[in-house]
Structure 1
C-alpha cells in the first residue's frame, strides 16, 4: 500500500506552479543556461550541500540574450537618485524601467530561487499609472517615482500571500498592506516581487519546503544567508534597485555579507515594522527582542537615498516609529564632523575568536582609514560584551515555540536540516523570569555605554566602531556559525551596517597554518571547524566577499551612514577603486 504524501507536498507543487505561471515564456532561460539542481526545490532541501558545485551565475543575465542592451543599461548603470531623475525628467518611462527589472528578477529567480511572489503584472500597471501621472501633471508622483524595489516575504501586500515558506500559510492572501509597503508606495516606489526566507525565519540559510533553497549567485556552495536571503541574492543580481528585509539576529547584515552588498539595520523606531507575518505570537517583539526593518543595496548612496525619504516620514505611517532626521544629499557631506573623526576597531566579541581572514580585513580597514587622516583606536573588549549573545538568544525564545511548530506540523512538514535537533517545544518564561532577563539587558546596556567614551568619562570619544559581521568568511550551505556578532547589536539597539571590502584571495587562506589561540568555548570550537583543514577545504572560500560591520550608538542612524560612507571611500581609495557616488 502506497504511503500517502503529507499535505505540504501538494501545496508546494501548487505554489511552484503559480510562481512559474507569473513568468512570461520569453523571460525563461533556455535549459542549457540553467545550472544543474535548479529544477527541484524539494531536492535542494534533501540533498543540500551535496547537490551544488562551485558555479557563479552573476554574468548570466548579461549574456543570456533575454535583456536588451537598453534593459542591461537600465538595470546596471544607475544609482537610485540617477535612475529616478531619468524617469522624472522624461528620459526613461517608469514602465520600461520596471519591465527591465522584472525581467532581470525573473532571470535571477531561475538561477537562485530568490523569489516567492513575483508581482510583475501589478508592478507594470502601477508603472503605467505613474507615467500617466507625470504626463498629466508634469510632476513626479513622489521622490522615489518609479523606483523598482522588492521586499522580504514577511511583509504583507494586499491580495498577496505572506506564506514565509510555510505551507500552512500558503493561499491565504493578506487583506492590508504592511506599513512600510504603504510608505514606499506613497513615495512612488514600485514593489516588483517578494523574496525567499528560511523556514521559521530563524536560520541563516534561506531554505523552506514551499520554495526550496535560495542559492548564492556568487557561488552556489556558499550560503546566501538569512533570513533575508532572497533579497540578498536578488539585489546582488541587479534584479531590484533596493531590497527591504528585517533583522533580529543579523537577518539584513548576514545576507549582505554573503553576497558582497550593503545592508543597513537601523535603530528601533526608524523604519515602520508593523504588518508582517511572523508565525509567532502577535506582540511578542514588544516584550522580548524587537526586530527592525531596513534596506539592502549596492552602494552607500542608495542606502542614503531610500533611508532619507523613509525616516523623514516614518512616524506618519508606523505606530512603532519616532520622529527622525536625515539631511538632504546637498547638505549631507557638509555635516561630517569638523573635528577629527574617531573610529574604533573591535576585533572580537570575547566569545568567538575570528578566523585569520576576518582579523586581516579589520586591520586593512584600519590602515585605509589611518591613511585618510581618520583617528583610529583599538577598542578593548567590554566586560559586558560576551554576555550579549546569551541574553539576546533567551529573549528571542521567551515563548515555548508552539505557534511556529503548530504551523509546521499542521501540514506534515519536516524541519529543515539545520533546524533538526536545534528547534523543539520548550517552556515559556514566566513574567518574573522575563523581568529578570530585561533587567540583565538594561545592566548590559548601561555597561556598554563605556565603550563609546574609552576612559569611563561622560564625553563621547568614539564616533563609530568597525567589527566583524561574523567570525568566519562566507561559509558553505548550512554551516553559518556564530550569530552573536550581529544579534548583540539588536539587543543593544545600536544601528549597524554591513559593507564589503574586498574578495578573499589565496594568501588569506594561510594553507598549512593552524590557529594557535586557545579555544574559548563551544561556539569558538565550532568556529574553528570552519578553518580546520581536516574538516574543511579552505579553498572553498576563495573569491568570497570579505565584509565588515559598522556600528554607532542607538538612534545615531545618520551618523552610521556617515561612517559607512567615509569607510567605503577610504577603502576604495586604498584599493584604487572609484569612489562611490552619493
Structure 2
C-alpha cells in the first residue's frame, strides 16, 4: 500500500509493528472489553487499578502458578516434576498477554518461542532425570534493549525496527544456559532518557496501580510485568535509576548491582561504541516481587557471569549465612539515614516514610540507625553526572530520530538537545572531578581514630528513590537520588514499604521553606495544590532506597531482606490506618 505523501516514515513502521505484536496474542487470550481501562485516563475515572484483573480471566491453575510461588519454590516444583515447565510458561505467557492488554507493557511477545523452549526443558528433564540448569523453567522478561536472536531491539525507535538481532546478548545467553525461559521483551521510553515509558513505535506503558501516574522508566515495561506477576524476574538496565525508579512506581523490588557483576553487552546501540566506558557505565539489574528472589537468581548468575561477559569480574556470590555481622560495637548492622541530597526538598510523604522506616529499624536489637548529614559530594554529583552522560552530544540518537522523521514525545521536547561531542580534555577534567567526589563520598562509610586508623562506620544507608511520590504521567522530575549512585558505582536497591494514605497528603498545607534549586522548583510543583490534586497519589506505593559501598552487592541483598522482614513484621503487628 502506498504511503500518503504527508505521512512520516515512522508512522507505517509503528502501525506494522503494533499489528504484528497484537497478532502474537492468541484470540482465546483476548480479554473482554469490559475489563479494559478508559483512555485517556482522567481524574474523575479514578486510578483504574488493574492488578486484580488477571485472576478474573486466568484459570484457577494459571492463577495458582503465577501468584503462589517464589523463584525457589517454583523451581523446586518443576525439578520434582510436580508441575511441568510447559504449564508454568503457558500460565506466565497468558498472564503477560493479559497484562499487556491492560497496560501496553510489551514490545516483543515471545510466547511461541517460550512454549517451544518449555517443551524442550520438559523433554530434557524426562530424558536425563535432571534439570537443564539451576533456573530450569524460570519465566523471565527482559528490557527491549537486550538482543534476543531473531527479534528486534528497536527500543521504540522506527530506525531500528525490522533489524533483528543476529545473536543473543551475553546476559540472555547466560540465563538460557541456566534453564531460564524468556517470555517477552518490554517497553521503554524514547531515547531511554525519559522517566515515563512512551515512544512513537509502541506507545505508552501504563501504571497498573494508578493509570493517572507514571509507570516509570527506562525499564518501565519490566516494572509493570513484575507488578502484574507476569514474570518472576525482570531484567532491566540502570544509568539514571532505570531499574530502581520503575520498581518504585510499580511497588516492586529493584536491584542495581555494581559494575562488572552482570554482563551488559549485546544491547541496542544508542551512543557510539565505547562511549559509556569513557563516561559512566550503565549496569544490568533485576526487578522482582521479592527481595529473596533477587538473591536466588544473583547467586546463580554472578559466579558464571565472567564466562559470558568480558565486562565481568571473576568471582563468587558469597552466600552469607547466619546473623549478618555489622559495624556496630556488638555486630549490629549500622544503617545511616540520608535525607535531602541538597538539590531537592523531600515532599512530606517521602520524609514521613523515611522516618517511619528509620524508627521501625531502630527498634530492632540487631540494627543501629544513625542520621547522616548530606555530603557535599552527593549534592554536586547530579550536575557532574549530567555532564558525563551528555558527553556524546546525543548525536547518534538525533540521527536515528531524524532518519525516520520521528517527533520527540512531550516529556522530551524541552529536554532533548543535540550538541557538540565533548573533547578528550573536557572528559578528562570531568573524570578527575568524579574521582574527587568519589573520595569525598567515601568518607561517610568510615571514621578515623586519634592515630589515623580507619574503621567501618556504616554498613548501609537508606534514602529516598525520589524526593516526591509516584507522579502523574510525564511529571517525574528528580534523578539525583538515583543517578548519583551509578556514578559512584554503589550497589542500590528499592524496597516497597506501604501505600500512600490520605493523612500523608496534608491537604491544604503548603510546603514550607525555600526552593533549593531549579530541580527543586519542579519537584515542589508536584505538591503545589494549584498544580496537582494531591489525592492522585492515594494508593500509590511509597518505597525506600538502600545503598552500600562498591562491590558489596551480596551484603546489599542481605540488608534489603533484613529491612523488608523487619518492616513487614512491624506493619503486620501495627496495621497502618489512615
Instruction: Place the TM-score, normalised by the shorter chain, in its bin.
Output: over 0.9
Q: State the match for 1:375 in structure 2.
A: 368
Question: In 1, distance between residues paired with 2:325 and 2:170?
Answer: 32
Which of 137, 151, 155 is matched with 2:142 structurally?
151
Aligned-partner SS, 1:408? helix
1:460 aligns with 2:451: no
Contact 1:164 1:278 in 2 (8 A): no
Are 2:196 and 1:200 aligned?
no
Distance apart, 1:422 and its partner CA? 1.3
Please, which of 322, 333, 336 is the counterpart of residue 344 of structure 1?
336
Shift of 1:50: 8.6
Q: What residue is the counterpart of 2:166 in the other structure?
A: 175
CA contact (8 A) 1:196 1:214 kept: yes
Aligned to 1:473: 469
Aligned to 1:43: none
> How far apart are residue 425 of structure 1 and its match?
1.2
What is the aligned-residue RMSD (CA, Å)? 1.7
1:519 aligned onto 2:519: no
2:390 to 397, 408, 419: 397
Task: Look up the match of 2:540.
Answer: 544
C-alpha distance after superposition, 1:432-482 (max 9, x if no partner)? 000000000000000111111256862111000000000000000000011
Instruction: Determine whether 1:77 maps to 2:79.
Output: no
Q: Unpaired segments of 5 or more residues in structure 1?
A: 38-46
Q: Describe the superposition over 1:491-528 as per-residue Cα deviations: whole angstroms up to 9, x where unpaired.
A: 00000001101111111001111121221111111111
Report the CA distance between 1:324 and its aligned residue.
3.0
CA distance in structure 1 between the partners assigned to 2:41 and 2:199 by the alignment:
12
Report the counterpart of residue 559 of structure 1 in structure 2. 555
Alpha-carbon distance between aligned partners in 2 of 1:407 and 1:514, rounded to the nearest angstrom: 44
Number of residue pairs the alignment of both structures matches? 565
Maintained 8 Å contact 2:240/2:483: yes
Partner of residue 378 from structure 2, selected from 368, 378, 385: 385
The residue that corresponds to 1:44 in the other structure is none
**Secondary structure, aligned partner of 2:213:** coil
User: Who is 2:345 aligned against?
Assistant: 353
Residues 246, 294 of structure 1: 8 Å contact kept = yes
Taking the TM superposition and a 5 Å limit, the aligned residue runs for 1:43-192 are 54-63=47-56, 65=57, 67-192=58-183
CA deviation vs aligned residue, 1:398-422 (integer Å, no higher than 9, x gap):
0121101111111111001000021
Q: Given the two structures, how large is their TM-score scaled by the length of structure 2?
A: 0.95
Retained in 1: the 8 A contact 2:447–2:455? no
In structure 1, the partner of 2:38 is: 36
Asked whether the equivalents of residues 147 and 241 of structure 1 are also in contact (C-alpha less than 8 Å), the reply is yes
In the TM superposition, what are the counterparts of 1:248-267 in structure 2 within 5 Å? 248-267=239-258
8 Å CA contact retained: 1:257, 1:498: yes
Q: Following TM superposition, where does structure 1 have runs of at least 4 consecutive aligned residues deviating by more than 6 angstroms?
A: 47-52
- Inter-CA distance 325–500: structure 2 relative to 1 (3 Å threshold): same
CA distance in 1: counterparts of 2:415 and 2:41, whole angstroms = 17
Cα shift readout 1:312-340 (whole Å, capped 9, x = no counterpart): 11111100000233244xx5345544711
Closer/same/farther in 2, CA of residues 541 and 404 from structure 1, 3 Å limit: same
Q: 1:407 aligns with which of 395, 400, 404?
A: 400
Q: Which residue of 2 aligns with 1:332?
A: 321
Instruction: Give the distance between the partners of 2:457 and 2:533, measured in 1 at CA.
Output: 42
Q: Could you list the runs of 5+ residues in structure 2 that have no partner in the other structure?
A: none
* 1:552-571 Cα deviation digits (max 9, x unpaired): 00000001011101110110
CA contact under 8 A between 1:214 and 1:229: conserved in structure 2?
yes
Partner Cα distance (1:428, 1:511) in 2: 47
Please, which of 5, 8, 31 is the counterpart of residue 7 of structure 2?
Answer: 5
Q: Give the one of 435, 439, 447 matched to 1:446.
A: 439
Shift of 1:71: 0.6
Partner of 1:221: 212
Partner residue in 2 for 1:531:
527
In the alignment, structure 1 residue 493 sits paired with structure 2 residue 489: yes
- What is the distance in 1 between the residues matched to 2:41 and 2:164? 30
Report the counterpart of residue 432 of structure 1 in structure 2: 425
User: What is the distance in 2 between the residues matched to 1:466 and 1:223?
Assistant: 23
SS at match of 2:321: helix
Partner SS, residue 415 of structure 1: coil
After TM superposition, the structure 1 = structure 2 runs for residues 226-237 of structure 1, keeping only pairs within 5 Å, are: 226-237=217-228
Q: C-alpha distance in 1, partners of 2:87/2:302?
A: 29
The counterpart of 1:17, out of the listed 19, 29, 36, is 19
Match of 1:26 in 2: 28
Native 8 Å contact 2:41 2:211 kept in 1: no
For 2:175 and 2:44, how far apart are their aligned partners in 1?
Answer: 38
Asked if 1:573 is matched to 2:565, the reply is no
Please give the TM-score of this superposition, normalised by the length of structure 1: 0.95
Contact map agreement 2:70 2:293 (CA 8 A) in 1: yes
Shift of 1:51: 11
Deviation larger for 149-158 or 457-466: 457-466
Deviation at 1:385, TM superposition (A): 1.3
Q: Distance in 1 between matches of 2:222 and 2:325?
A: 31
Provide, for residues 83-134 of structure 1, a one-character-per-residue CA deviation record: whole Å limited to 9, x for no partner: 0000000100000000000000000000000000000011111011110010
> In structure 2, what is the equivalent of residue 40 of structure 1?
none
SS across alignment from 2:539: coil
- SS of the equivalent of 1:395 reads helix
Contact 1:12 1:209 in 2 (8 A): yes
What CA distance in whole angstroms lies between the structure 2 residues aligned with 1:93 and 1:386? 52
